[in-house]
Amino acid sequence: MRWKEQLLKLKPYQPGKSIGEVKRQYGLSEIVKLASNENPFGSSEKVREEIAGYPGKFSIYPDGYASELRTCLADHLGVKESQIILGNGSDEIIQMIARALLTPETKTVMAAPTFPQYKHNGIIEGCKIEEIPLVNGAHDLDSMAAAIDDKTSVVWICSPNNPTGVYITEEELTAFLARVPEDVLVVLDEAYFEYVTAEDYHDSLRLLNQYKNLIILRTFSKIYGLASFRVGYGIAHEDTIRALEPVREPFNVNTLAQAAAIAALGDQKFIDECRKENTAGLQQFYDFCIQAGLKYYPSQGNFILIDFNRDGQEVFQFLLERGYIVRSGTALGFPTSIRVTIGSKEQNEGVIGVIKEFLNVDTVISN
């Protein structure tokens, strides 16, 4: 087989351990998963009601244009339906962009560390990849702008950034966009948009009319609690969407996923409640980290990255054996850290308690 050479050394995406896997491996009956930035409160009751009573015929293909969902999204966002593209999660839209714009003759620019699928898809397409190190957990937008040359076709920005949770302000974003050539697509990944409470966070939708080379990615997998349905979407100028549509797989958003997303979108009270709970949960971790003398990044997402100043894999393993699945920073570019999804108040208290156990055991061993 004449595989692309770059595929031979490329590892597939490694998801966190599943609940069933951990139960079997360690003989545990109760597991709390705080590894994949899922919503600990699930999804809106309206979603459950919609799916339970769904009258559709499953032998029929989905609406390939996702017409009803597209209309609901356009109304919710205040944009035209022709400015929206739907994906099997925003991961698929990242793949669409890479497939449409990246070649061995082009270059792409991104922060590091950030969401790994930007680089992953760039490698598959064989393009040159330039990674600009984060500064205090934030994108170094000045250096990213300086890295853009005549071969650059795509720049990736994640705000709030995964895995640090650090966001980009309105002033920072507009100054950056003003420096990007019109023929370079800026991908602004806002997967955690609905969790943001910062007053100076960028209003990206307002910028779409001014910057036709901007595409915004959002998802129903996080605060909407629909991770298993895989629904993401992009918002951009009509010309950008028109160019991307031929790359999109037909029928890529399944029938139940469309119905679930419409129902979820119609319950913004649930979203407001989840945002408030998340803000309170973050404060639980901030208070603990300050008390324990642990460094962390203030987060605008539903997760927190905590630095233990030692092998994060050890912390990860200690928590895992006690029924808490978190994300080791080793795979995220922060080898002395762990990333913890913000859970319910009780879940947060539980994992903090086990972290305290780890710190006490570590102190005893050190002494």
Burial string for 131-169 (b: 16+ CB within 10 Å, else e) reads bbebeebbbbbeebbebbeeebbbbbbbbbbbbbbbbbe
pLDDT computed for residue 364 by the predictor: 42
Q: Tens digit of pLDDT per residue, the chain (367 long)?
A: 888 888 888 888 777 677 888 888 888 889 999 999 999 999 999 999 999 988 878 899 999 999 999 999 999 999 999 999 999 999 999 999 999 999 999 999 999 999 999 999 999 999 999 999 999 999 999 999 999 999 999 999 999 999 999 999 999 999 999 999 999 999 999 999 999 999 999 999 999 999 999 999 999 999 999 999 999 999 999 999 999 999 999 999 999 999 999 999 999 999 999 999 999 999 999 999 999 999 999 999 999 999 999 999 999 999 999 999 999 999 999 999 999 999 999 999 999 999 999 998 555 444 4
**CATH 3.90.1150.10 domain locations along the chain:** 5-42+269-366
Q: Is there a cis peptide before residue 12, judged by omega within 30 degrees of 0?
A: no
Cβ-in-10-Å burial (0-12, 13-18, 19+) of 3 comes to exposed
Please tell me the CATH code under which domain 5-42+269-366 is placed. Answer: 3.90.1150.10
How many Cα atoms within 13 Å fall on the side-chain side of residue 168? Answer: 26
If phi > 0 it is left, if psi is from -120 to 50 it is alpha, else beta; for residue 189 that is beta
**CATH 3.40.640.10 domain locations along the chain:** 45-267
| Alpha-carbon radius of gyration of the chain | 21
Check if CATH label 3.40.640.10 holds for domain 45-267.
yes
pLDDT computed for residue 29 by the predictor: 82
Closest to 227 in 3D by CA, of 80, 4, 15, 58: 15
Q: Give the tokens for residue 169.
A: 């302000």
Q: Which residues, other chains included, contact 321 with Cβ-Cβ below 8 Å and sequence gap of 6+?
A: 26
3-state secondary structure of 335: coil
Q: Is there a cis peptide before residue 160, judged by omega within 30 degrees of 0?
A: yes
pTM, two decimals, is: 0.94
